[in-house]
Structure 1
Amino acid sequence: MFYCLQKKKKMVLAEQREDTGQLMSERHEYELKLVQVIFRHGARTPLKPIPHKEQVEWPPTLLDIPLHTQFDYKVTDLSGGPRPTSPIEKRYREHKLKGGTFPGQLTTVGMQQMFELGARLRRTYVEEFGFLSPSLNPAEVFVRSTNIVRNLESTRCLLAGLFQQQQQNETLKERREKREMGPVAILTCDLNTEILFPNYHGCLGLKHLSSNKMLHAYSQPEISEELQKLQQKMGLEEEKIKEVDFFLLLDNLLAEEAHGLAGSLVLKDMLQQIEQRAIDIIFYVLEPDEREVLQLSVGPFLYILQDNMLQTANGSSATTKSRKLFLYAVHDTTLIPLLTALGIFDNKWPPYAADLVLELYQHQYSKMWFVRLCYKGEEQVLKGCRTALCTLDEFLNRISAYALSPDEYSTLCTQGEQQHPPGNTN
């Protein structure tokens, strides 16, 4: 097993000097230095119900918290101050779904999914390779999440899975030390400055550009006609038809499927078709060859992931040297453009609890740096790299077309707003 649950004793690596060609090398020659895990939250209630008569019930019992997923945490802003307000969460709580729960809330199923992801990370990075300390060491782990409850709670469950056995078996001394450290801090920020998802609130250029492309996508005859047929099959009231699109349908169907709930049979039979249409529209909006929407969607986040690697490689500070794990709680709308920018998107909607792992290695003899990617526990070959273990330079070269520094992001957001005014997006 080599960090992504794939048991391999040897790896074929591209050697930096072209004249020496490829070589076979034992894994122990490569020392793991940094792990970054970007994960989607676990299963949740729908964001908005389908406005038809066959609405599924979402009772509060679906949100019960399993004891083994509990983990003490606090939420702060990026400077360690009070948690910012969350307009998105406030909007969720303005309405209830049939059955009594709020939209967009992590369920018991989702909590278990995240616990299992944490347990998988534990098996790999704690038990098998001893890379992380058995108990949470704040100096080793950095935790970041969007300011949405399902993501914060998903992070809690992942941490419970990652450090579960130590919680159960820790000594009196370790408990005393943990009390002195206090709960683990999950860092977040306000909506306008968030970069862990495509931010249509903080980057009006992205909002206007995406809105225009979304309208164009739905005006494509094939997509438009297919949506109309679906709406007719559902027998929606005239005033409700405009509320229903492929994303609303997919969101509800995937939530129902994850919880084994029976919804519309007509829609369930068309799940695969609905998913493909949602992906088609996303790709129409992202338009990877044009780069602009991809840059504004995940460019600042790619810049941070890149910077974490460079700081580790440069060993610029004591904090950098001790940091081993970065955890980022994101969304499906983050993973799709991120995977697309990396050239490894599998054309399937990211499932609940999907994870993308970026591992940074150093060769013990040549002192060269390498990057390895895994998506949903499976090794990926980065586009532009010859093997799964990619040189850091090759990795940086791949993402250079999309990564944006804060200043570059601000400039592009402003330019996009001027070039794509809001008049055509209503």
Structure 2
Amino acid sequence: MTSLVPRPPYTDDELRKLYPPGLELRQVQVLMRHGERTPISARFQNAGLRPLWPYCSAARQMRAAVLAPRDPALGPATDTLEWKRRLESIGPNDEPVLAKGPQDDPDALCDHGSLTDQGRRSTYELGQRLRHLYVDRLRFLPPALTPADAEASLYLRATPVPRALESLQQAFAALYPPSARVPGPDGRFPAPVILSRTPDNETLYPNDGNCRRLAALARAFAQRAADRWNRSPEMDLLNRRLGPWMPQGQRIAVDSRPRLSGIMDTINASLAHGPETRLPEEFYDPALKAAMEKINVDEWFSGFRESREFRMLGIGPLMGDIVGRMVERAEQGGERGIRFGLSGCHDTTLAGMLASVGAFDMERWPPFTSHVAIELFREAQEQQQQQPPPLPPQAQSAKRGWWSALFASPAAARPIGRRPTTELTQAEKRKLDGYYVRMRYNDEPVTVPACRLPGNHFEGDPSLCTLAAFKAVVDKFTPTNWKEQCRMNRDKPALPEGEPEWAGH
């Protein structure tokens, strides 16, 4: 599977089972892989594949913000420049030439790794499905978004990679189209805030480019995969069928050039698009695809499943953020804080998250436009509804008095979301009571192994994990200082010694 084939909408019976009347949905965080894109690098020109693909119509109508001079007392004015992007290449004798597509059209060409028109459509359709579920069916989100709601309860974030940002924009535009955005006092809906980070602070994907220890761990697991698979029957099959297309008769391997993961990338990207960018039919044999996925998943994601340090450095900061937002919501009685989050990310994000909690199928790569929804529920109990809302921090400090505040421990001043469960007081642990977490991957519930234990899930449904049990699992691989820990253990073995440190417990 390269493009996601969405499952049908939930039936009424399925909806009642997934969202039982005894629970109230309090928060949703959705992390989505970008939509269909072009390959990261040009490959297999010897098989007739063009290096540049004609599937990016957005290149015909680009827009840029331009600051225009005006009265200094009024401040700078923002204007919009509309422009068309074309790609230039290097021709014979190194002279510049205008790049053209299969039909000699210079417009609508995609750069490497670009979100294509198909990717824009599929991510827009994901936004429509999210609206259908959370607005139309569950009535969890309001049908129209007000500026106050957007400011107080919406969290939008994307990685610095353009295809992730553009996919997020497509999905949000469908979740809340212009007709469902309430204008502010000036008659306009304020521009929604989309958060991003600089590369050295990015944790929305496994950032081995800015975490040296993670890079060492990734190399070790990649080498283990090469040792395990390069002479396997699966690799022999791939070489018999696709070997003739490799450059200079090179053997396909985990660490060949191109790597096996790069070969799969090109196959998946071409399979998701039109006939103008198709490879010979032998590239699409289901048996070959299954073998490639199995090997590449082992290379890229086994570290999350088997190594606590890999989990901590690769996905721990992100999972710590996700749990922190859920705990903050619980601390506020389930009423305040972020209500809905949407993040544009990558296949390594989703697989890393799921593998780190022991809930990933270790043989299938996440298709384009896959998503993980992490939902927070609260028990619908009358006594909970009748409890007064918690005091704001200022009022709590005043109620305790200056003497108790003087001797309060530094840990007590920190939000409990990032503190390990073992360090919480009984009163702090009680704030998590009555809350449950569910992860759904492409609209199918997944179950964390530790949540199957008695007392760790909602009665009759192990996929509905108690917030306390889910947090305890994530606590074990949430870093305390990610950047510092990225510089540690450089002289220690990269692979776990002895038994694997299995995820999900």
Structures share fold, TM-score greater than 0.5: yes
The letter for the 1-side match of 2:120 is M
Tell me which residue corresponds to 2:474.
Answer: 399
Which of 295, 302, 318 aligns to 1:277? It is 295
Shift of 1:40: 0.3
Which of 241, 263, 266 aligns to 1:252? It is 266
Tell me which residue corresponds to 1:127.
Answer: 136
Question: Retained in 2: the 8 A contact 1:231–1:244?
Answer: no
Shift of 1:124: 1.1
Query: Residue 21 of structure 2: SS of its match in structure 1?
Result: helix
Q: Deviations over 1:118-163 (max 9, x none)?
A: 1111011111222212233312211011011101110111011111
* 1:199 counterpart = 2:192: no
* 1:162 counterpart = 2:162: no
Pick closer, same or farther for the CA change 1:323–1:216 going to 2, 3 Å. Answer: closer
How far apart, in 2, do the equivalents of 1:294 and 1:384 lie? 16
How far apart, in 2, do the equivalents of 1:235 and 1:417 lie? 36
The letter for the 1-side match of 2:299 is I
Equivalent positions of 1:329-408 (< 5 A) are 329-347=344-362, 348-365=364-381, 367=384, 368-386=434-452, 387-405=462-480, 407=481
Question: Retained in 1: the 8 A contact 2:32–2:370?
Answer: yes
Tell me which residue corresponds to 1:33.
Answer: 26
Which TM-score applies when normalising by structure 1?
0.78
Question: Retained in 1: the 8 A contact 2:329–2:336?
Answer: yes
The letter for the 2-side match of 1:43 is E
Pick closer, same or farther for the CA change 1:60–1:177 going to 2, 3 Å. Answer: farther
CA RMSD of aligned residues (A): 3.4
Question: Retained in 1: the 8 A contact 2:329–2:337?
Answer: no
Tell me which residue corresponds to 1:312.
Answer: 329
Range with greater deviation from structure 2 (49-58 or 322-331): 49-58
Query: Residue 183 of structure 1: SS of its match in structure 2?
Result: coil
How far apart, in 1, do the equivalents of 2:304 and 2:100 lie? 35
How far apart, in 1, do the equivalents of 2:88 and 2:162 lie? 11
Question: Retained in 2: the 8 A contact 1:41–1:331?
Answer: yes
Shift of 1:260: 3.7
Query: Residue 488 of structure 2: SS of its match in structure 1?
Result: helix
Q: Deviations over 1:281-323 (max 9, x none)?
A: 2244x16233221221100001000100010000189xx8152
How far apart, in 1, do the equivalents of 2:241 and 2:100 lie? 22
Range with greater deviation from structure 2 (320-329 or 289-298): 320-329
Tell me which residue corresponds to 1:184.
Answer: 192
How far apart, in 2, do the equivalents of 1:276 and 1:336 lie? 13
Query: Residue 415 of structure 1: SS of its match in structure 2?
Result: coil
Pick closer, same or farther for the CA change 1:126–1:225 going to 2, 3 Å. Answer: closer
- Segments of 5+ residues of structure 1 without an aligned counterpart are 13-25, 74-91, 422-426
Question: Retained in 2: the 8 A contact 1:132–1:140?
Answer: no
How far apart, in 1, do the equivalents of 2:153 and 2:214 lie? 35
Q: Which structure has the highest helix share of the two?
A: 1
- The one of the two structures with greater contact order (alpha-carbon pairs below 8 A, sep at least 6) is 1
Q: Deviations over 1:338-370 (max 9, x none)?
A: 111122112310011101001111112174111
Which TM-score applies when normalising by structure 2?
0.67
The letter for the 1-side match of 2:488 is Q
Shift of 1:202: 1.5
Question: Retained in 1: the 8 A contact 2:221–2:300?
Answer: no
Question: Retained in 1: the 8 A contact 2:49–2:279?
Answer: yes
Tell me which residue corresponds to 1:233.
Answer: 244
The letter for the 1-side match of 2:298 is D
* 1:114 counterpart = 2:107: no
Pick closer, same or farther for the CA change 1:225–1:109 going to 2, 3 Å. Answer: closer
Question: Retained in 2: the 8 A contact 1:93–1:102?
Answer: no
Question: Retained in 2: the 8 A contact 1:384–1:398?
Answer: yes
The letter for the 1-side match of 2:468 is D
Question: Retained in 2: the 8 A contact 1:114–1:353?
Answer: yes
Which of 120, 142, 147 aligns to 2:160? It is 147
Query: Residue 46 of structure 1: SS of its match in structure 2?
Result: coil
Query: Residue 489 of structure 2: SS of its match in structure 1?
Result: helix
* 1:295 counterpart = 2:312: yes
- Segments of 5+ residues of structure 2 without an aligned counterpart are 1-8, 66-86, 91-98, 103-108, 385-433, 453-461, 495-505
Question: Retained in 2: the 8 A contact 1:204–1:416?
Answer: no
The letter for the 2-side match of 1:246 is L
Paired-residue identity, %: 24
Query: Residue 375 of structure 2: SS of its match in structure 1?
Result: strand
Shift of 1:178: 7.9
Query: Residue 336 of structure 2: SS of its match in structure 1?
Result: helix
Shift of 1:177: 4.8
- Looking at CA atoms only, which structure, 1 or 2, has the larger radius of gyration? 2
Equivalent positions of 1:71-90 (< 5 A) are none
How far apart, in 2, do the equivalents of 1:256 and 1:208 lie? 32
Pick closer, same or farther for the CA change 1:413–1:340 going to 2, 3 Å. Answer: same
Equivalent positions of 1:25-104 (< 5 A) are 27-57=20-50, 61-65=54-58, 100-104=109-113
Aligned residues: 375
